[in-house]
Structure 1
């Protein structure tokens, strides 16, 4: 994979702001390329562009001189920084559904399930395969296991390119080392692994084959990781105390030179500035500013390394046979047909949302509300005008209650659903129409269970007419209220997706 002079801009209050300014580099099969830099330096932005999740303003991103396109999506794995997983699915279910949706249709259902089990054993997840993923309110797997499940979701398709955004974020050093070792094992099979990392330990730092150091959107270093410290030593930047090489590089990228030897060029510049400050009776600064350090590092890289590295980019990189077939094919292929996508998403929706819809809290709420209503309208008499008016008020309350009750669940569900939908659609796992219909129909059986219990209690406690036809007509009214609420939820999702 090669990228040259990649630039990215955003508009801030109508003024263009450059996030990345001319980043160049390459990664070959069998290599692990790490992107380092302070927060806000543009690591995630660059990774998103390399993975096809964002479009560069200028520059060229290619694999063996071929541009990226939709046909390459099925050969690319992209692990986001946030662990976007369904809370109530187990590890085995999560990877199995990913295999059923993403693996090619030439494989049988049993072969796809076997592939999911192979990934579970490959990632060392066999002990927790039947454990729920978990979340804020649900006990589940550990942070390291969650991250391995996210990686498993992507490597299950045997991608030629694997992108990871902060895979060690929030993990202890031992777990982080295990994750990086896993990435090395993946790269050794002939894959290209590109990852961002914030502040690795010294053991992690030396595990990477190549390194990109970013600072304020500019390229400060690109090359072999083992050659990074000698390079900065050659331009006069050395640590004054024993420290982690990653910390030293991040200090330089931040412009912090408190524990770093300052090159003579910067020393001379500081002395000249101090003389000017003395003339104006201003405060004297004995250390170079962060801006001066940044400009020096950018200029040093451009004059010492950039030309040589850009010349290497002109040579084509090796390319695997499966990626060759993918590049030459411009046809967009789905792992399964529409009907299979619908059935898989329908089953997954039932398994995931049954815990929310049929939780003991919701069942208790519905039963308690129905009993209270039954007591308030206990055997109301429909033969009198007052009793008839009371029953009309009860029916209105029931319709309104079941029009708004499902909405409260949706308010807490849609943010997670949106993140999952964006992630899976970016990987071309299914068609949007299959998702929408499966999402709607999988809710119907769950939406009918609690209203039936509710109506059985209220209908006979309130003394409504004991007729099968009238009971089912009342149930139909409640069901239509729920459908209307779902339509309103769809409008809510649409407006939510349009928000920036």
Structure 2
């Protein structure tokens, strides 16, 4: 297993040295989204006409010509009210927005960012997307093992994670689980620092953070920004861009560069300590000493006026932000744009130097092999899901069902064939519904983490997919084994070891097929609530056409039983117990009096195979592979 112990004899990791300097420039960045507007019920009632107008498509501008830059060692803070476009801008800078809706130039060292460059860019989203049952150290160590190149030893990678923990003040809680709304773990500030630490592990030249101080008190926010400032200026050469909702005055003083945006437009870009002077030159100044960040947000929110202003003067100041946008486009905007274009040539030559040095170290192009990624992801999956692998409620559910079935069919008489067929069909229902219903939540619950890690280039899809499936096998195979071991002998089914082993193998195969069905539906729909509804309806259809309740299925629906997993499992279980039904035919004297007897009709309908058992085996094998292929293809459609 993974060793997380510190080593005192190891030299500092290579990634603790200076990072590659990055200059970020974004020029005239514009982002629009299309909105479908249909006629509402209210508008229909108000309208005098009787007909309804067709749905129209309109465009909404989220970002409108935003321009700025940040140099190595600088912190750029993006200020603005909620809904102003801060998060959208950061997503655009991180390469997380695709399509033709995004226009403008985003340059890293004078060049368009490549996939390798974006992989070395740290992006911390607003929400902390972490596995709740891993400890702080396990979270950072697994990130280190996945994201750092293969030429570093395992010890160096672990030491890198420990170095990041020390820099961010996480050493005291390294053995505490992350937690979430349902599981108690570390505090909100510590959780945010873990998210930042995941990105700092690769020592990024550019670090983007979406409101890292939200939900933190002023002291915790100051400590967090102070740690980021040290990482940016203390010889590391890291460029930091962050959106901040409402920073304290102490936090604001650490921002070298500040951008203020409102409704997707920029009203200020420049040094943080020059912002108040700029707005004072435009005639906007606070009437009493106040936090500069509060004053800037007031301007962006149209809530500024002189303390002694009368009603007429206040009405003139209602559109403050529109006036500030116009002033910025006239006075400050052209200078910012010129500075960005002037700096483009300098950064381009630096980019070529960095590219040559990167090729020498082979850091960017060096990736994990498929097996290493699979191995690490499997160990992480087992650690994260060990709390639910044998959850007490789930174990109780299986044990209760097994003993209930065992007592209900306690040592059933061999002549009570219909009762035994009921038991076999109950087994088919229980182990068709349970695995599929559990598996349908697998991918929707991990969607956010998967998208985040795939976007940062931590791994490819195939090792993640295989690790997720293999990680479920212990739970999916052990619990059915316990169930059949109890129920089979309590119910007094065929007292033959070979028959028991065959029943066990059929059940395990059926469980894996049902799991595949849940994985496929979950991956296609990617919504836990909708997927659970669909899998319930699907299994209901499979049960009804499984061959026990209805034998004469209408011709238009007869095809359903041939895609029903329950049908094939039930046929195999019956075949193991009664083969072709010759023994019970003689037992019930059906061969003497013919099959017209009521007690013998079910032999032809239930016991004697409607299809050969080999066809049932092949059908389950095809479904086992097919459902997983569908799930894999569905996941590939999701853009990271």
TM over 0.5: yes
Task: Map residues 332-351 of structure 1 onto 2, 5 A cutoff.
Answer: 333=365, 335-351=367-383
Q: Which has the higher contact order (CA 8 A, sep 6+)?
A: 1
Q: How far apart in 2 are the matches of 1:259 and 1:467?
A: 94
In structure 2, relative to structure 1, the CA distance for the partners of 1:25 and 1:241 (3 Å cut) is: same
Q: Is 1:256 matched with 2:299? A: no
Q: CA deviation at 1:478?
A: 2.2
- Which secondary structure state, in structure 2, belongs to the residue aligned with residue 423 of structure 1? helix
1:449 maps to 478
Q: Which sections of structure 2, spanning at least 5 residues, go unmatched?
A: 1-23, 37-56, 527-634
Partner of 2:409: 377
The answer on whether the counterparts of 1:72 and 1:327 sit within 8 Å (CA) in structure 2 is no
Distance 1:353 1:3, change over 3 A: same
Cα distance change, pair 321–173 in 1 and its aligned pair in 2 (3 A): farther
TM superposition shift of 1:24:
0.5
Q: Which moved more, 1:56-65 or 1:434-443?
A: 56-65
Aligned partners of 1:205 and 1:245 also within 8 Å: yes
Give RMSD over aligned pairs. 2.5
* Closer, same or farther: CA 108–2 of 1 in aligned 2, 3 Å: same
**Residue 421 of structure 1 aligns with which residue?**
450
Report the CA distance between 1:343 and its aligned residue: 1.0
For the 8 Å contact 1:334–1:429, the answer to whether it is kept is: no
Map of 1:493 onto structure 2: 523
Aligned residue in 1 for 2:67: 24
* C-alpha distance 136-390 of structure 1, shift in aligned 2 (>3 A): farther
The separation in 2 between residues aligned to 1:333 and 1:345, in whole angstroms, is 21
Q: CA deviation at 1:322?
A: 8.2
Q: Describe the shift of the 1:300–1:320 C-alpha distance in structure 2 as closer, same or farther (beyond 3 A).
A: same
Structure 1 residues 192 and 397, CA, compared in 2 at 3 Å: closer, same or farther?
A: same
| Residue in 2 that maps onto 1:282 | none
Which residue matches 2:355? 324
| Paired residue secondary structure (2:485) | helix
Contact 1:221 1:228 in 2 (8 A): yes
Secondary structure in structure 2 of the residue aligned to 1:78: strand
Distance 1:308 1:348 in 2: 50
Do residues 432 (structure 1) and 461 (structure 2) align? yes
Q: Secondary structure at the match of 2:315?
A: coil
* 1:249-290 deviation line (CA, Å, top 9, x unaligned): 11111111256788xxxx9xx95xxxxxxxxxxxxx943465
Residues 1:323 and 1:479: Cα distance change in structure 2 (over 3 Å): farther
Is the 2:81–2:301 contact (alpha carbons within 8 Å) kept by the matching residues of 1? yes
Which residue of 1 is the match for residue 487 of structure 2?
A: 458
CA distance in 2 between counterparts of 1:172 and 1:389 reads 68
- CA 1:258 to 1:452, structure 2 compared with 1: closer, same or farther past 3 Å? farther
For the 8 Å contact 2:87–2:243, the answer to whether it is kept is: yes
Once the two structures are superposed, residues 147-204 of structure 1 have per-residue CA deviations (whole angstroms, 9 ceiling, x without a partner) of: 1111111110111111111111111211111111111011121100111111111111
Aligned to 1:4: 27
Q: 1:201: which partner in 2?
A: 248
* Structure 1 unaligned spans of 5+: 272-284
Which position in structure 2 is the counterpart of 1:181?
226
Shift, 1:456, TM fit: 2.0
Matches within 5 A, 1:85-484: 85-188=130-233, 189-258=236-305, 286-288=314-316, 290=318, 292-316=319-343, 319=350, 323-325=354-356, 333=365, 335-381=367-413, 383-384=414-415, 387-484=416-513
Aligned residues: 477
Answer with 69-78 or 253-262: which moved more. 253-262
Q: Distance in 1 between matches of 2:480 and 2:401?
A: 11
Q: Distance in 2 between matches of 1:306 and 1:201?
A: 27
Q: CA deviation at 1:495?
A: 2.4
Q: Structure 2: how far apart are the matches of 1:2 and 1:469?
A: 71
Q: Once the 2 structures are TM-superposed, how far is the Cα of residue 325 of structure 1 from its aligned partner? A: 4.1
CA distance 1:244–1:237, shift in 2 (3 Å): same
Aligned to 1:63: 108
* Inter-partner Cα distance in structure 2 for 1:36 and 1:260: 24
Structure 2 CA distance, aligned partners of 1:183 and 1:83?
Answer: 17
Considering only CA atoms, is the larger Rg found in Structure 1 or Structure 2? Answer: 2
**Bigger Cα displacement from structure 2, 202-211 vs 390-399:** 390-399
Report the alpha carbon displacement of residue 499 of structure 1 after superposing the two structures with TM: 9.4
Q: Structure 1 residue 347: deviation in Å? A: 1.3
Q: Aligned partners of 2:264, 2:385: CA distance in 1, in Å?
A: 42
Q: CA deviation at 1:431?
A: 1.1
Q: Distance in 2 between matches of 1:59 and 1:199?
A: 28
Shift of 1:242: 3.8
